[in-house]
């Protein structure tokens, strides 16, 4: 794992952001638990998303649909037939890999075999890009070079999916030293299956939803009939989704249980292009405003070959994670595909009567689909900073105040002379307004460091001067600057700071 990721994973564990699920039993691959700080961070992200996209807008409403739905939903959506990734199994180690993440690095070494031919080694690596997949093959090639001499040229890189059956026989898989143990790519359904009711048979099969989106389409008519909505409008939903991912990895980036924040924005067919452009830009900007630097973010438009057959355009918002540039959110122009499919499979009319135009049509849909866990991971990566304060190294999480788990911490400078009592009163006062933390244990410098690691933007200290002039100090996490404010105005001062007004 990348060094920064290793440090971040360990900080997340140590400070109570993210733990491996059911760790006391050895964990379970692809599942994670959010600890006291992590749950606040993720809630703040979801709440910021909900506030900005539902509550502050006139054209959006919310929904909270069930995780298990009638399995026909998944027939209509195509998930039952098509929601599968081509997978490759290793016959020797029984490992299973996503075929689109297997890259083969074909090396040629100068040593010749008994036929006088140079030695070849076709080494497979795993990653979302050839660069990411190169690590293991490079290590293995360096070992082989000791025996066969330095490779005569850089390796040829071939996606495993493009190999002929004969060439597949030459490949050495990522978890073995034998050749030809990898199978041809085969489909594997990603939906978790369960049974509803007492009987476990074909008629009781149901699925944990792999996306929240279909709950929105299935409720389109309910919302139109009851919600007094008028096109263009969107339905938003935040909730858990489940995918039996083959390679959960990169910490929470690819998990088997995760949360999505999805919008289905319904519009007139001829206005869909404009709304697509609008959401593409608006969603990018949302991340920037919450602190993701735009140079680490990029909008990547899908090429024609990547588009689903019904989609006219799709773009991914990608973030430069320490393990590589990867998808944070997808924005898809889905046309009328989903509503039409549900009309076909349910037999219900899901068309919309446009009062203004006096015409009936099936609305087109723009879908900005984000992951709350991926957003949390990106914000953690972005915030992670190592710097020096007074010549001492420190680790600090520079979260935007809006998503910081704790907004302010309150300390008495020392545990005597009435300072704890006054500090506690300040804490009680602030707690009615913000998520705050009280700490009187240990040296003040260590208390500041602990809050820096938790990403708390402001620390308030009650010192001996506070007892005589009713002022306290505020310390800024990022600059470490301190200044005094009157006790009477502390709530307003913290509110101003959290809202981004410049400090005095």
DSSP string of 290-347, one letter each residue: TT--GGGEEEEEPPGGGS-TT-SEEEEEEEEETTEEEEEEEEEEEETHHHHHHHHHH-
Backbone angles phi, psi at 375, to 5 degrees: -65, -45
Q: By beta-carbon distance, which residue lies closest to ligand GAP?
A: 371
Structure tokens at 445: 């410098």
According to CB under 6 A, which one of 85, 211, 318, 336 is a site residue for ligand GAP?
211
Question: Considering beta carbons, is residue 263 or 497 the nearer one to ligand GAP?
Answer: 263
Secondary structure of 431-455 in HEC code, one letter for each residue: HCCCCEEECCCCCHHHHHHHHHHHC
Close Cβ partners of 383 (under 8 Å, ≥ 6 residues apart): 291, 396, 397, 398, 399, 455
Does 243 participate in binding ligand GAP (rule CB under 6 A)? yes
Does 98 participate in binding ligand GAP (rule CB under 6 A)? no
According to CB under 6 A, which one of 327, 440, 476, 496 is a site residue for ligand GAP?
327
Interacting span for ligand GAP (CB under 6 A) from 141-149, 293-301, 323-331, 450-458: 323-331
Residue 259: CB minimum distance to ligand GAP, A: 8
Does 100 participate in binding ligand GAP (rule CB under 6 A)? no
Does 283 participate in binding ligand GAP (rule CB under 6 A)? no
Residue 363: CB minimum distance to ligand GAP, A: 17
According to CB under 6 A, which one of 95, 373, 382, 463 is a site residue for ligand GAP?
373
Residues 127, 130, 132, CA angle at the centre, nearest 5°?
45
b/e map 239-277, b = 16+ CB within 10 Å: bebbbbbbbbbbbbbbbbbbbbbbbbbbbbeeebeebbe
Stretch 125-184 residues interacting with ligand GAP (CB under 6 A) = none
According to CB under 6 A, which one of 213, 238, 403, 460 is a site residue for ligand GAP?
213
Residues 347, 353, 358, CA angle at the centre, nearest 5°?
145
According to CB under 6 A, which one of 374, 402, 407, 447 is a site residue for ligand GAP?
374
Does 412 participate in binding ligand GAP (rule CB under 6 A)? no
Which of the 8 DSSP states describes residue 149? -
CA-to-CA dists, residue 485 to 144, 469, 472, 489, angstroms = 66, 10, 6, 7
According to CB under 6 A, which one of 17, 107, 258, 352 is a site residue for ligand GAP?
258
Residue 71: CB minimum distance to ligand GAP, A: 18
Strands of the 171-172 sheet, one edge to the other? 156-159, 102-112, 118-126, 171-172
According to CB under 6 A, which one of 341, 369, 456, 466 is a site residue for ligand GAP?
369
If one counts every other C-beta atom within 10 angstroms of the C-beta of residue 321, the result is: 22
Helices (H) and strands (E) in the chain, counts: 16, 27
Question: Considering beta carbons, is residue 207 or 458 the nearer one to ligand GAP?
Answer: 207
Interacting span for ligand GAP (CB under 6 A) from 177-185, 215-223, 256-264, 437-445: 256-264
Question: Considering beta carbons, is residue 44 or 466 the nearer one to ligand GAP?
Answer: 44
Residue 72: CB minimum distance to ligand GAP, A: 18
For 51-153, where are the alpha helices, taking DSSP H only? 72-77, 79-82, 130-133, 135-148
CA-to-CA dists, residue 142 to 2, 103, 128, 133, 150, angstroms = 20, 18, 22, 15, 8
According to CB under 6 A, which one of 101, 189, 260, 451 is a site residue for ligand GAP?
260
Residue 473 near residue 460, CB atoms below 8 Å: yes
Question: Considering beta carbons, is residue 250 or 471 the nearer one to ligand GAP?
Answer: 250
CA-to-CA dists, residue 188 to 79, 80, 432, angstroms = 12, 11, 51
According to CB under 6 A, which one of 254, 280, 342, 400 is a site residue for ligand GAP?
254
Binding mask 328-367 for ligand GAP (x = CB under 6 A): xxx------------------------------------x
Question: Considering beta carbons, is residue 65 or 471 the nearer one to ligand GAP?
Answer: 65
According to CB under 6 A, which one of 370, 474, 485, 498 is a site residue for ligand GAP?
370
DSSP β-bridge partners for residue 171 = 122
According to CB under 6 A, which one of 215, 239, 368, 371 is a site residue for ligand GAP?
371
Residue 87: CB minimum distance to ligand GAP, A: 15
Interacting span for ligand GAP (CB under 6 A) from 92-100, 147-155, 179-187, 254-262: 254-262
Helix (H, G, I), strand (E, B) or coil at 71: coil
Residue 281: CB minimum distance to ligand GAP, A: 17
Question: Considering beta carbons, is residue 45 or 134 the nearer one to ligand GAP?
Answer: 45
Question: Considering beta carbons, is residue 367 or 452 the nearer one to ligand GAP?
Answer: 367
Q: 120-125 — which CB contacts under 8 Å span 24+ positions?
A: 120/170, 121/172, 122/167, 122/170, 122/171, 122/172, 122/179, 123/155, 123/171, 123/172, 124/160, 124/171, 124/172, 124/173, 124/174, 124/182, 125/174
Does 453 participate in binding ligand GAP (rule CB under 6 A)? no
Residue 150: CB minimum distance to ligand GAP, A: 40
Residue 282: CB minimum distance to ligand GAP, A: 16
Question: Considering beta carbons, is residue 327 or 424 the nearer one to ligand GAP?
Answer: 327
358/343 Cα distance (integer angstroms): 21
Residues in contact with ligand GAP by CB under 6 A are 211, 213, 243, 245, 254-255, 258, 260, 262, 327-330, 367, 369-371, 373-374
């Amino acid at each position: 794992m990348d060094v920064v990721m290793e440090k971040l994973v360990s900080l997340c564990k140590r400070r109570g952001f993210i733990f491996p699920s059911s760790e006391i039993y050895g964990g379970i691959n692809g599942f994670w638990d959010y600890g006291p700080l992590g749950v606040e961070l993720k809630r703040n992200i979801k709440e910021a998303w909900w506030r900005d996209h539902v509550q502050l807008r006139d054209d959006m409403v919310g929904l909270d649909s069930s995780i298990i739905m009638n399995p026909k939903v998944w027939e209509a959506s195509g998930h039952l037939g098509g929601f599968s990734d081509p997978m490759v199994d290793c016959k020797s180690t029984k490992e299973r890999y996503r075929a689109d993440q297997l890259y083969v690095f074909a090396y040629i070494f100068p040593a010749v075999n008994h036929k006088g031919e140079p030695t070849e080694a076709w080494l497979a690596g795993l990653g979302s890009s050839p660069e990411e997949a190169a690590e293991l093959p490079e290590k293995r090639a360096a070992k082989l070079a000791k025996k066969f001499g330095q490779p005569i040229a850089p390796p040829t890189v071939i996606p495993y999916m493009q190999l002929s059956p004969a060439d597949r026989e030459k490949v050495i898989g990522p978890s073995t030293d034998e050749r030809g143990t990898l199978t041809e790519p085969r489909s594997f359904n990603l939906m978790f299956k369960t049974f509803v009711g007492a009987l476990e048979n074909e008629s009781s099969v149901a699925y944990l939803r792999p996306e929240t989106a279909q709950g929105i389409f299935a409720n389109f008519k309910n919302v139109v009939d009851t919600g007094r909505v008028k096109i263009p409008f969107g339905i938003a939903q935040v909730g858990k989704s489940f995918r039996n991912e083959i390679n959960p990895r990169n910490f929470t980036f690819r998990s088997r249980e995760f949360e999505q924040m999805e919008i289905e924005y319904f519009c007139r067919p001829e206005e869909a292009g404009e709304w697509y452009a609008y959401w593409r830009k608006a969603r990018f900007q949302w991340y920037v405003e919450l602190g993701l630097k735009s140079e680490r973010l990029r909008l990547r438009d899908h090429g024609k070959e990547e588009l689903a057959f019904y989609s006219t355009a799709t773009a991914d918002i990608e973030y430069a994670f320490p393990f590589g540039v990867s998808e944070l959110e997808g924005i898809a122009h889905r046309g009328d595909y989903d509503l039409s499919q549900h009309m076909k499979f349910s037999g219900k009319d899901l068309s919309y009567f446009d009062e203004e135009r006096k015409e009936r049509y099936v609305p087109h849909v723009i879908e900005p689909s984000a992951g709350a866990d991926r957003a949390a991971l990106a914000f953690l990566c972005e915030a992670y900073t190592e710097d020096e304060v007074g010549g001492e190294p420190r680790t600090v999480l520079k979260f935007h105040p809006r998503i910081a788990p704790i907004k302010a911490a309150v300390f008495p400078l020392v545990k005597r002379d009435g300072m704890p009592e006054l500090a506690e009163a300040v804490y009680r006062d602030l707690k009615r307004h913000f998520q705050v933390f009280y700490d009187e244990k240990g040296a003040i410098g260590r208390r500041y460091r602990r809050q820096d690691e938790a990403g708390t933007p402001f620390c308030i200290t009650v010192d001996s001067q506070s007892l005589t002039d009713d002022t306290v100090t505020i310390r800024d996490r990022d600059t470490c600057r301190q200044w005094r404010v009157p006790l009477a105005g502390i709530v307003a001062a913290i509110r101003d700071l959290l809202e981004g007004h410049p400090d005095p």
